[in-house]
């Protein structure tokens, strides 16, 4: 558990089963909680981490429980939506644990206007507080579960929830007409790139691979073509049912606040592994990210075909074996 939650339990906070934990990451040690605690985690690598630890792990849940522990996400709109969902599910307490950098102070201020709060306990650059679940106190002014933006369905907390990502838009305008019959969109998000690719009559199979279950649910709404196949999976480790002709991707470069170029490099390696011998990769990345060496290690031919001061578009072909 986080040091704040451990300290709160030692200081008088008591939990009642069944317990549901929302938003825990591998940084959070939940070993002190009962193994029948439900962990709600839509991000596939984190989901698998807690499943391997023996917890009942699900990507989403509206099942009733007694207490909910909500570990605050960075996205403000998502945090408020999750508070409402926690109150709807819990019959006992809602416990909120968050860092100052994730906006715990402003959320606490808002919640205090609506319900009586116990705690808060300040520790390790954050706070934890709790209150009796109220089914109606948070129905107004909270974020919707999903929203329509520029003709697409998105949801709070997913990547580029407020509109089409400019890097993906740049990549879409530079994709060739001839993509091949089998295409994979690694890190498909809520489906913008795949929605463009699905319009190509020559494409017969389109794999949307996305680790965020919430984003993938949006993609199912945004990409309705029968050729689309949806995979809730980590793109770094995903294996296509059959080698694909083309991989298209705008890979993420962080799962936390710190940039991690290794994540995008893992996407490149995965793309090369899943392509046919004559397959091709179309990829966009932030200008400052160091992907050229990995691309040249993974492919025989690599070219930067478009870009600006913010982004660069690569075309790579003939993966090395």
Convert the pLDDT of each residue in 298-318 to its tens digit. 999 999 999 999 999 999 999
pLDDT at position 11: 80
pLDDT band at 136 (very low <50, low <70, confident <90, very high): confident
* Bridge partners, 314 (sequence order): 283, 304
- At 317 the three-state DSSP class reads strand
pLDDT of residue 258: 56
For 147-319, the fitting CATH number among 3.40.1160.10, 3.40.50.150, 3.40.50.720, 3.30.9.80 is: 3.40.50.150
Residue 147 — very low, low, confident or very high, per pLDDT cuts 50/70/90?
confident
Statement: residue 151 has pLDDT above 70: yes
Statement: the pTM of the whole predicted model exceeds 0.85: yes
Q: How many of the other CB atoms lie within 10 Å of CB of 321?
A: 6
Query: Does residue 43 register a pLDDT over 70?
Result: yes
Contact 316, 295 (CB under 8 A): yes
Instruction: Decide whether 3-132 matches 147-319 in CATH topology.
Output: yes
Residue 67 sits at φ, ψ, to 5 deg, of -120, 145
What is the per-residue pLDDT for 2? 67
> For 175-192, how does the pLDDT look when each residue is reduced to its tens digit (9 = 90+)?
999 999 999 999 999 999
Q: What is the per-residue pLDDT for 321?
A: 77
Query: Residue 18 has which token pair?
Result: 């069944």
Domain positions in the chain: 3-132, 147-319
Spell out the CATH class of 3-132: alpha beta
Q: Could you read off the pLDDT of 250-284 as tens digits, one per residue?
A: 999 765 555 677 899 999 999 999 999 999 999 99
Distances (CA, A) of 208 to 69, 203, 250: 32, 13, 12
Q: Which residue has the tokens 């490149």?
A: 268
Q: Is the per-residue pLDDT at 112 higher than 60?
A: yes
């Amino acid at each position: 558990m986080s040091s704040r939650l451990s300290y709160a339990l030692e200081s008088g906070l008591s939990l009642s089963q069944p317990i549901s934990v929302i938003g825990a990451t591998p940084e959070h040690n939940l070993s002190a909680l009962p193994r029948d605690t439900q962990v709600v985690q839509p991000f596939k690598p984190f989901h698998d981490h807690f499943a391997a630890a023996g917890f009942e792990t699900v990507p989403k849940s509206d099942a009733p429980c007694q207490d909910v522990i909500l570990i605050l996400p960075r996205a403000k709109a998502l945090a408020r939506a999750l508070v409402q969902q926690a109150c709807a599910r819990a019959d006992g307490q809602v416990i909120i644990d968050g860092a100052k950098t994730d906006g715990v102070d402003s959320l606490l201020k808002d919640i205090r206007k609506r319900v009586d709060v116990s705690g808060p306990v300040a520790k390790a650059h954050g706070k934890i507080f709790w209150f009796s679940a109220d089914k109606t106190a948070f129905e107004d002014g909270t974020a919707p579960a999903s929203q329509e933006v520029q003709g697409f369905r998105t949801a709070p907390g997913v990547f580029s929830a407020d509109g089409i990502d400019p890097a993906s838009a740049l990549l879409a305008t530079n994709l060739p007409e001839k993509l091949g019959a089998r295409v994979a969109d690694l890190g498909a998000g809520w489906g913008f790139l795949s929605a463009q690719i699905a319009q190509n009559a020559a494409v017969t199979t389109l794999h949307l691979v996305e680790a965020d279950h919430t984003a993938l649910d949006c993609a199912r709404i945004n990409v309705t073509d029968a050729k689309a196949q949806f995979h809730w999976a980590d793109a770094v480790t995903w294996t296509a049912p059959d080698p694909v002709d083309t991989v298209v991707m705008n890979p993420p470069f962080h799962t936390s606040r710190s940039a991690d170029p290794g994540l995008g490099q893992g996407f490149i390696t995965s793309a090369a592994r899943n392509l046919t011998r004559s397959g091709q990769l179309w990829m966009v990345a932030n200008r400052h990210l160091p992907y050229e060496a990995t691309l040249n290690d993974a492919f025989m031919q690599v070219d930067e075909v478009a870009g600006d001061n913010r982004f660069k578009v690569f075309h790579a072909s003939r993966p090395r074996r």
